[in-house]
Amino acid sequence: MPAVQETVEQVRRIDVDQYKYGFVTDIESEKAPIGLSEDTVRYISAKKNEPEWMLAWRLEAFRRWLTMREPTWARVDYPKIDYQNAYYFSAPKKNALASLDEVDPEILRTYEKLGIPLREQEILAGVVRPEGERRVAVDAVFDSVSVATTFKAELKKAGVIFMPISEALREHPELVKKYLGSVVPITDNFFATLNSAVFSDGSFVYVPAGVRCPMELSTYFRINEKNTGQFERTLIIADKGAYVSYLEGCTAPMRDENQLHAAVVELVAHDDAEIKYSTVQNWYPGDADGKGGIFNFVTKRGDCRGARSKISWTQVETGSAITWKYPSCILRGDNSRGEFYSIAISNGRQQVDSGTKMIHLGKNTTSRIISKGISAGKSNNTYRGLVTAHRKATNARNFTNCDSLLIGNQCGAHTVPYIEAKNSSAVFEHEASTSKISEDMLFYCQQRGMSAEEATALVVNGFVKDVLQQLPMEFAVEAQKLISISLEGSVG
Amino acid sequence: MPLLEIKNLHVEVEGKKILNGLTLTIKKGQVAAIMGPNGSGKSTLAYVLAGKANYHVTEGDVLLDGASILEMKPDERAAKGVFLAFQYPVEVPGVATMTFLRTALNAQRKTRGEGELSTPEFMKLVRDTSAHLGVNQEMLRRPVNVGFSGGEKKRNEILQMAILRPRLAVLDETDSGLDIDALQIVAEGVNRLRSPERSMIVITHYQRLLNFIVPDVVHVLAKGRVVKTGGKELALELEAKGYAQYVDEAA
Amino acid sequence: MNVELRPVKTPAELALSASYADARARLPGKGAVAELREDAFRRFETRGLPHRRVEQWKYTDLRALLRDSYPLAALPDAAARAHAKNAGQVLTGVDRRRLVFVDGAFAPELSDLTEEEGLTIGSLADALAKADPLVMAHVGKVFATEDVGVALNTALMGDGAVIRIAAGVTPQRPIHLIFAAGSETPSSAFVRSLIVIEKGAKAAIIESHDGGDSQVNSALELVVGDDTQVDYVKITQGRALHIASLLATVGARAKFNSFAFTGDAALVRNQNFIRFAGENTKAAIRGVSLLRGRDHVDNTLLIEHAAPHCESREQFRSVLDGESHAVFQGKIVVQPHAQKTDAKMLTRALLLSDNAEADNKPELEIFADDVVCGHGATAGALDPGLKFYLMSRGISEKESEALLIEAFIDETIEEIAHEGIRDALKFAALKWLGSRG
């Protein structure tokens, strides 16, 4: 049997039903009544003891949402979502924990099963590491409410605010009010507006001027409750000269019904500030026929508001049935820089439509896009990106490289870049390629003793190396494993 | 029992017949040179032994330790000890040479039921081996063969062979594209690996390589089969007279 | 929620509907042709003029640009014909067979209709009226598309050329279709041509448009047979609002080259729908656009690889001055069975002015795995380093710029196989450069 045929067979044989993380944690939860109405919005707001202005903000979003239409331009195809047949709020009953000891042991066991890196498990378990070692703070989001926040004290010492956004609404209402919706306004798009109306919780980070956040901030998302849409809201602000690196990773339990996820992430970087946002997304992609699986409609946007600010998105997308996601940068400040590094792997019946927008508004702004798409099985994988330089964005620079790799002949790889130059001093360079995985490379690896799957994983890891390098160490190793898992299904 | 027996092998590539009843036996520890004009099927033989796709065996058999390997996948053959030093080593972008070596070695060990080497053990093995071949650490960090010179690529092949320690090494025109200094380094590397436990098939167009890797036996291949077998002096004769007579004979 | 909004009809949409209602009975062709028109018109009626929310027209919002639709052109009178006599001058000096159309109507007396073995030339209006079998077999069928620009053309097509080049024949000279504006009154013309190039034939086809204050919707259905060699050049100049659609299918082992030259044209949309239907075809789709003032030039490609082992090269360059707007949209689709497709697209925009805008959308849609496809796109100003180098050798700034722009354009024009056409277009580009303020 020819080598590539074998690979194709291997990939085809991947039994997505064996999804490693497909289990349900049995925890009592408290739910909002099914369906979506003003009452739902009021219920959520009341449950969280939100100030009046927050409720008004949500209601405005909700009314707006009623007039909006679900976007259809992406290359994704999914059954109609019945927004009235979902729960919009679910929280483990015990919340507002004083210490980690109070965390439901079930949740800790869940993290264990999820294979959260040892380091982070130790942190969750309360192990204190010697001074000076690199640390990770985990603000664990279980279903919709953050139930545990660690390393709070140390961050507090540095002046960094890292807490669930619901808590921030109580403790730092002025900051939340100032920045919430300032990057992704409530009118932005169907899914973001929905999120604005019903978001349950998420992370809030504020790094004050001149502060370099002493550790990587990390949140594990996990969708658990049946039929619960997950609407995370993340808001990260780096004040002048501040630096923060934020890691987001997620897995989801197996479910028969499609689960909707419509998160919003807003980043604000002031003068000379830098935000690095890394994601590893590994939600349940659905079974072999594409049944089940997460619908992931995410709005992520960073605003390089200040001069010389920098925002860098890195993502490894291997999960979800539908991915609709375009982490973007608004390069408003002069000399600001935006980066987007992406690995998107699709297999089975997954559909990915992802990319970025680099919107050059300020002078001397630069951006860089490196996108690596891998399609296998019967999946479709689309890169969609916009690079635009406005009249006043003199000397804007962009470099884009987007490569696609095809494994098997039943999948599709698509590239849809929009490149708009509106002034003569802008220099844009764009290159894209699509090819199949090289038979010669696979044979070379196999001749050295690697199985077809090992060879494929190795070649693919080589293909995505430029992006993997952008991830923090902890994530890079995880991501590499994930790539092998998502392509082979043989590990685990 | 001989290590390798090739019996009446007929091979087609894209509908074209390349090997026509090739028969050959390689004894344990033997170094056999295979010489022949362009298009005689030398590289095809190498690929068929390694199990490359699209090389269709229409007749005959290949036995390793008396058992056919034709149904085996390339990696299974590799685990059984078949190693091919490629004429044109393949570039694998983004994969560090070191990672590649470790993945390959551990894959073979796993298939053979041996444990994986620990990182320090592996590092020591690579360090010791690479020094002889003039392969430095920097080269090991670079992606496999990417941006390597011709000489570096061939040294990398021999390094892999030294680390994987095969029982049958097939060297496909290892001399092509090498200057005399590089050729010497590569040949020394190969000679260091000669052992009663290891057989080699040295495929070459020119006699030159055989001054450095002296074969036990020389086979002449023409039109897809062995037309003459002799001692190392046969290579010199070919160098002097050329292949013309054999091409005519085979036709 | 989710109510389909029916936009208010624009004056242009209403005028187009009125034109159709008024002309329906007079338009050539009955039966199947009339049905084809009706279908196409309904497509227009349901969708209206394409606007920026229609993805393929994103950067050329026809609904906004077409403020009013002019009445259909009347048959050209003597004055109009006299006026049109000088059209197609850009190729003066190239020995070619001229076929002239004035305000969309075939003008046999201005055309060269010398007989030539294996070459059949006629007018579309005639062919439609007498239900000519060749036209009936192909019209509206060469490349199926829902595009409204094409639909309008089909609904209102009046005249154009019908050319058949028989198997194995190589016409002695290039065939030049000259579409000229004759009338002084603003009018609109819907021209449609069909060219069938049979197996093994070799042909060079030129199509040129130089309209005044008019609106032209032109479509060419091109059937490129197996084993043919076809060079197609389209030259668009003038102040008309010009929408052109090339609908082509290319057979096996054909060599197909197309080149679109657009210079000093007010508003041009060249849309190319090309399907590779047979194996082992080699094609090059190229173009150069020179823009200034408020020119708007849109080159849009849909290249469909429907058969294995085909190679296509797409290369478009534009030079933008003033407040002009250049659009390039190139979509390469590789169908599931089109294995071993080799497709490469390259677009470059040279921006000479801060107020110009270049929008580029190269797109790949790939459903076969054993392919090599890629695209590259660049946008930017002249290389200041190069300019400085030339100036340091004593060449004036303006001249240095001109030299660099010329080099930028020539690299693509150079690819035109026919020497005469190549030189003529180089000269046209030079003229454009020379008149740069």
Q: DSSP characters for A425-455? A: T-EEEEEEEEEEPPHHHHHHHHHTT--HHHH
The pTM score is 0.84
A90 confidence band (pLDDT: 50, 70, 90): low
Query: Which amino acid is it at B43?
Result: S
- Asked if C336 and C305 touch (Cβ cutoff 8 Å), the reply is no
Residues of B contacting chain A (CB within 8 angstroms):
50-54, 73-75, 77-79, 83-84, 86, 89-95, 99-100, 103-105, 107-108, 111, 143, 160, 164
- Are the Cβ atoms of C370 and A68 closer than 8 angstroms? no
What are the two backbone dihedrals, phi and then psi, of residue C237, each rounded to the nearest 5 degrees?
-140, 165
Here the tokens at position A69 are 């239409």
Burial class of residue C426 in the structure, from the number of CB atoms within 10 Å of its CB (0-12 exposed, 13-18 middle, 19+ buried): middle
Query: Which amino acid is it at A72?
Result: T
What are the two backbone dihedrals, phi and then psi, of residue B37, each rounded to the nearest 5 degrees?
-70, 170
Beta-carbon-side half-sphere exposure of residue A232 (alpha carbons within 13 Å): 30
pLDDT in the model for residue C368: 86
Query: Among C221, C92, C80, C241, which residue's Cα sits nearest to residue C161?
Result: C221
**A411 touches C at CB < 8 Å:** yes
Element (H, E) at B82: strand B82-85
- Asked if C314 and C332 touch (Cβ cutoff 8 Å), the reply is yes
Measured from the Cβ of residue C162, the count of other Cβ atoms closer than 10 Å reads 26
pLDDT in the model for residue C388: 84
Instruction: Provide the ipTM.
Output: 0.89
What are the two backbone dihedrals, phi and then psi, of residue A101, each rounded to the nearest 5 degrees?
-55, -25
Residue at a domain's end among C278, C311, C343: C278
Query: Among C435, C254, C419, C285, which residue's Cα sits nearest to residue C362?
Result: C285
- Are the Cβ atoms of C354 and A391 closer than 8 angstroms? yes
Of B54, B86, B160, the CB nearest to A2: B54
Q: How many domains does chain C have?
A: 2
Map residue A272 onto helix, strand or coil: coil
The pLDDT of residue A88 is above 80: no
Here the tokens at position A470 are 């952008």
Number of H helices, E strands in chain C: 10, 17
What are the two backbone dihedrals, phi and then psi, of residue C363, each rounded to the nearest 5 degrees?
-135, 140
Find tokens 């130790």 and name the residue. A122
Which stretches in chain B have pLDDT values below 70? 248-251
Distance set, CA C161 to CA C105, C124, C125, C153, C193 (Å): 10, 5, 9, 14, 5
Is chain C adjacent to chain B, meaning 3+ CB pairs within 8 angstroms? no
The pLDDT of residue A486 is above 60: yes
Residue of A nearest to C377 (CA): A430
pLDDT in the model for residue C397: 86
Here the tokens at position A68 are 């909006």
Note whether residue C68 is domain-resident.
yes
**CA–CA separation, A271 and A274 (whole Å):** 9
- Are the Cβ atoms of A69 and C1 closer than 8 angstroms? yes
Distance set, CA C336 to CA A83, A111, B116, B223 (Å): 36, 42, 42, 39
CA distance C207 to chain A (A): 30
Map residue C413 onto helix, strand or coil: helix
- Are the Cβ atoms of A461 and B95 closer than 8 angstroms? yes
Is chain C adjacent to chain A, meaning 3+ CB pairs within 8 angstroms? yes
Interface test with A, best of B56, B86, B92 (most A CBs within 10 A): B92
Interface test with C, best of A65, A424, A429, A437 (most C CBs within 10 A): A424
Query: Among A127, A140, A115, which residue's Cα sits nearest to residue A247?
Result: A140
C4 Cβ contact list (under 8 Å, min separation 6): none
The pLDDT of residue A221 is above 80: no
Residue of B nearest to A464 (CA): B94
A421 Cβ contact list (under 8 Å, min separation 6): A388, A389, A428, C349, C351, C357, C358, C359, C360, C379, C380
Q: Count A/C contacts: CB-CB distance under 8 Å.
A: 125
**C4 touches A at CB < 8 Å:** no
Find tokens 């090269």 and name the residue. C313
pLDDT in the model for residue A84: 83
Give one word for B125, left, alpha or beta, with left for phi > 0 and alpha for psi -120 to 50.
Answer: alpha
Here the tokens at position A139 are 């603000």
Which stretches in chain C have pLDDT values below 70? 1-8, 437
- Are the Cβ atoms of B53 and A5 closer than 8 angstroms? yes
Neighbouring chains of C at 3+ CB pairs under 8 Å are: A
Give the angle subtended at the CA of C312 by the CAs of C307 and C316, to the nearest 5°: 145
Burial class of residue A342 in the structure, from the number of CB atoms within 10 Å of its CB (0-12 exposed, 13-18 middle, 19+ buried): buried
A131 Cβ contact list (under 8 Å, min separation 6): none
Interface test with A, best of C321, C369, C401 (most A CBs within 10 A): C369
Give one word for A49, left, alpha or beta, with left for phi > 0 and alpha for psi -120 to 50.
Answer: left
**CA–CA separation, C32 and C44 (whole Å):** 19
**A459 touches B at CB < 8 Å:** yes
- Are the Cβ atoms of B94 and A455 closer than 8 angstroms? no
Find tokens 């003032």 and name the residue. C293
Query: Which amino acid is it at A290?
Result: G
pLDDT in the model for residue A138: 55
**A406 touches C at CB < 8 Å:** yes
- Are the Cβ atoms of B74 and A443 closer than 8 angstroms? yes
What confidence tens digit (pLDDT) does each residue in A131-160 have? 444 455 555 544 444 434 456 677 888 999
Roughly what angle, to the nearest 10 degrees, separates helices B150-164 and B97-111? 30
Residue A261 bridge partners (DSSP): A230, A296
Share above pLDDT 70 across residues of chain A, in percent, rounded to a whole number: 75
Domain spans, chain B: 4-250
> Got the DSSP string for B190-206?
HHHT-BTTBEEEEEESS
Of A448, A450, A462, the CB nearest to B94: A462
- Are the Cβ atoms of B93 and A465 closer than 8 angstroms? yes
Distance set, CA A387 to CA A72, A278, A317, A357, B67 (Å): 21, 21, 21, 6, 60
Residue at a domain's end among C239, C261, C278: C278
B53 Cβ contact list (under 8 Å, min separation 6): A1, A2, A3, A4, A5, A439, A443
Element (H, E) at A23: none
**A412 touches C at CB < 8 Å:** yes
Could you give the residue ranges of the DSSP H alpha helices within C224-263? Answer: none
**CA–CA separation, B205 and B242 (whole Å):** 10
DSSP state of A13: H
CA distance B115 to chain A (A): 15
Here the tokens at position A295 are 């619908």
Domain membership of residue C405 as a residue range:
384-437
pLDDT in the model for residue A136: 54
Domain membership of residue A17 as a residue range:
3-488
Distance of CA C69 to the CA centre of its chain: 20
Interface test with B, best of A8, A341, A446, A484 (most B CBs within 10 A): A446
**CA–CA separation, C209 and C437 (whole Å):** 25
CA distance C99 to chain A (A): 39
What are the two backbone dihedrals, phi and then psi, of residue A168, each rounded to the nearest 5 degrees?
-60, -35
- Asked if A360 and A335 touch (Cβ cutoff 8 Å), the reply is no
Residue at a domain's end among C248, C278, C308: C278
**CA–CA separation, C115 and C84 (whole Å):** 24
C window 228-257, beta carbon within 8 A of A: none
Q: Which residues of A touch B103 (CB under 8 A)?
A: 445, 450, 454, 458
Element (H, E) at A352: strand A351-360
pLDDT in the model for residue C255: 97
- Asked if C213 and C190 touch (Cβ cutoff 8 Å), the reply is no
**A444 touches B at CB < 8 Å:** yes
- Asked if A451 and B76 touch (Cβ cutoff 8 Å), the reply is no
**CA–CA separation, C105 and C122 (whole Å):** 12
Residue A389 bridge partners (DSSP): A360, A421
Q: How many domains does chain A have?
A: 1
Measured from the Cβ of residue A146, the count of other Cβ atoms closer than 10 Å reads 25
CB-based burial, C221-245: b 16+ in 10 Å, e otherwise? bbbbbbbbbbbbbbbbbbbbbbbbb
What confidence tens digit (pLDDT) does each residue in A7-63 have? 444 444 433 344 445 455 555 566 667 778 898 899 889 888 899 999 999 999 999
Burial class of residue C25 in the structure, from the number of CB atoms within 10 Å of its CB (0-12 exposed, 13-18 middle, 19+ buried): exposed
A6 confidence band (pLDDT: 50, 70, 90): very low
Of A446, A462, A466, the CB nearest to B95: A462
Give the angle subtended at the CA of C171 by the CAs of C170 and C172, to the nearest 5°: 110
**CA–CA separation, A436 and A408 (whole Å):** 8
pLDDT in the model for residue A151: 63
pLDDT in the model for residue B170: 95
- Asked if A186 and A196 touch (Cβ cutoff 8 Å), the reply is yes
Query: Which amino acid is it at C300?
Result: T
Beta-carbon-side half-sphere exposure of residue A479 (alpha carbons within 13 Å): 31
Map residue C425 onto helix, strand or coil: helix
- CATH topology for the B4-250 domain: Rossmann fold (3.40.50)
Here the tokens at position B213 are 């890797």
CA distance C329 to chain A (A): 9
Greatest mean pLDDT among A343-352, A356-365, A475-484 lies in A356-365
Note whether residue C83 is domain-resident.
yes
pLDDT in the model for residue A250: 58
The pLDDT of residue A65 is above 60: yes
CA distance A363 to chain C (A): 13
- Asked if C156 and C18 touch (Cβ cutoff 8 Å), the reply is no
**CA–CA separation, A305 and C100 (whole Å):** 59
- Asked if A142 and A161 touch (Cβ cutoff 8 Å), the reply is no
